[in-house]
Amino acid sequence: MALLPTDADVNAQDLLEQLSAGGPEFAEALRDLGLAAAWHSAVDTPDLKRQLPESTVQLLQRARIEATARYMAQQGALHELDRVFEDAGIAYALMKGVAIREVLFDDPSVLQASDLDVLVAPADRVRAVALLVQAGYTMHLDSGNISHEVTLQSPIADIDLHWNILRPGRTRIDLTAELLSRRVRVNGFWALSRMDSTFIMLTHPAFAKYVCSPNMGLARVLSFLLWIQKVDCDWNGVVELLERTGLNAAAWTMLGWYTACAPAALVPVLSRLRAPLRPSRLRAAYLEFWLRHDLPTRFINRPVFIQFGLTAFLHDGAGDALLAYKGWYLARRDRMRQAAAFYVHPGMPA
């Protein structure tokens, strides 16, 4: 029900009827799922106040106002980041939700983003962090992901600065330079190309959000289902990139989750996209078992089960899985050295 706006055959009146039938519990669920602002945008018609209880109307309006306020704050942070990085000659690209929403919606604020995901070249990572610290951000290092990202926080917005889309070793090849070479200007900022954004939506959540666990959230599903309907994309290019990175199985599994959540009219489209990516019969059956029995959610508090039982099999071959484990070992071994690099730059605090 929460993903009903992704059905092209559904209009505002249909959504209003669903809100009325779902009652306060449904409206509260939309708020908790981060979808209330998108629903308000879809049902913001003269019939809104006539057909819904005042409490539901207020909940939706409050969610829309809060989403707009957060968006404006994040836009301010992005304008500053763009200016600082452009002046310093640092190539960057926005990734994931903060970039996707600018393409998907007339009012991008309706898709909430908890933080700003920014990709830079590995050689620029320390200088980029130093510039943001000088601009008022506080750096937070996490030894678990220092191999590929660092978080910067301010009262206005949080930034996840990446120099690799995943922990090194997850992909057969280093993608950062390639992705930055195809970046495009979108609404005043640099963002990943549409092909590369599609690639990210098909791979990053498989490893970072465990496909269908509560970490995934339905806002990402809504974004992808709208994306494939609204955005022209070089799908052949996406498939070729998946093949080169060894992540066909990850994309096939993510498409399985997206298909399970999709309106009926989209299922044939998703099935056609998914078919060329299918792994071997045994691996496909195993991954389907994880999806059908929602094992990522069952094991969410035991991530080691997921890491060894699921994510290892999202790589296309044993060599790819071994490369991922090697990357994990090297990241763990070198984490102190990698963290120390951020404290020797003259622009960083001692």
* 44 or 197: which leads in pLDDT: 197
Average pLDDT, whole number, for the chain?
A: 93
* Residue 350 confidence (pLDDT) above 60: no
**Measuring CA to CA, which residue among 206, 208, 224 is closest to residue 290?**
206
Residues 167 and 272: their CA atoms lie apart, in Å, by 30
**Any idea where the domains of the chain sit in the sequence?**
72-343
Query: pLDDT category, 45, cuts 50, 70, 90?
Result: confident
DSSP assignment of 199-242: HHHHHHHHHHSTTTSTTT-HHHHHHHHHHHHH----HHHHHHHH
Residue-level pLDDT at 346: 59
Over range 205-230, report the average pLDDT. Answer: 95
CB 92 within 8 A of CB 128: yes
Three-state DSSP class for 264? helix
Q: Which residue intervals of the chain are DSSP H helices?
A: 12-32, 36-43, 48-51, 54-88, 97-104, 125-134, 176-181, 194-208, 218-230, 235-245, 248-261, 267-274, 281-292, 295-298, 303-309, 318-333, 335-340
Q: What percent of the chain has a predicted confidence (pLDDT) above 90?
A: 89
Residue-level pLDDT at 174: 94
Over range 66-92, report the average pLDDT. Answer: 96
Residue-level pLDDT at 49: 79
- Those residues whose C-beta lies under 8 Å from the C-beta of residue 301, and which sit 6 or more positions away, are none
Token duo for residue 218: 């339905």
Radius of gyration in angstroms for the set of CA atoms belonging to the chain, rounded to a whole number = 21
* Residue 348 confidence (pLDDT) above 90: no
Residues 111 and 113: their CA atoms lie apart, in Å, by 7
Residue-level pLDDT at 342: 85
- Those residues whose C-beta lies under 8 Å from the C-beta of residue 53, and which sit 6 or more positions away, are 24
Over range 152-172, report the average pLDDT. Answer: 95
Is the model's pTM score more than 0.85?
A: yes
* 350 or 141: which leads in pLDDT: 141
CB 221 within 8 A of CB 257: yes
Over range 38-51, report the average pLDDT. Answer: 87
Give the pLDDT confidence of 252-307 residue by residue, as tens digits: 999 999 999 999 999 999 999 999 999 999 999 999 999 999 999 999 999 999 99
Assign a CATH topology to domain 72-343.
Beta Polymerase; domain 2 (3.30.460)
- Residue where the block lists tokens 């950062």: 176
Three-state DSSP class for 109? helix
**Measuring CA to CA, which residue among 289, 218, 305 is closest to residue 253?**
289
Residue-level pLDDT at 193: 97
Residue-level pLDDT at 47: 76
Residue-level pLDDT at 183: 97
Query: pLDDT category, 72, cuts 50, 70, 90?
Result: very high
Residues 1 and 271: their CA atoms lie apart, in Å, by 21
Query: pLDDT category, 349, cuts 50, 70, 90?
Result: low
Residues 271 and 218: their CA atoms lie apart, in Å, by 20
DSSP assignment of 27-47: HHHHHHTT-HHHHHHHH-STT
* Residue 345 confidence (pLDDT) above 80: no
CB 81 within 8 A of CB 118: yes
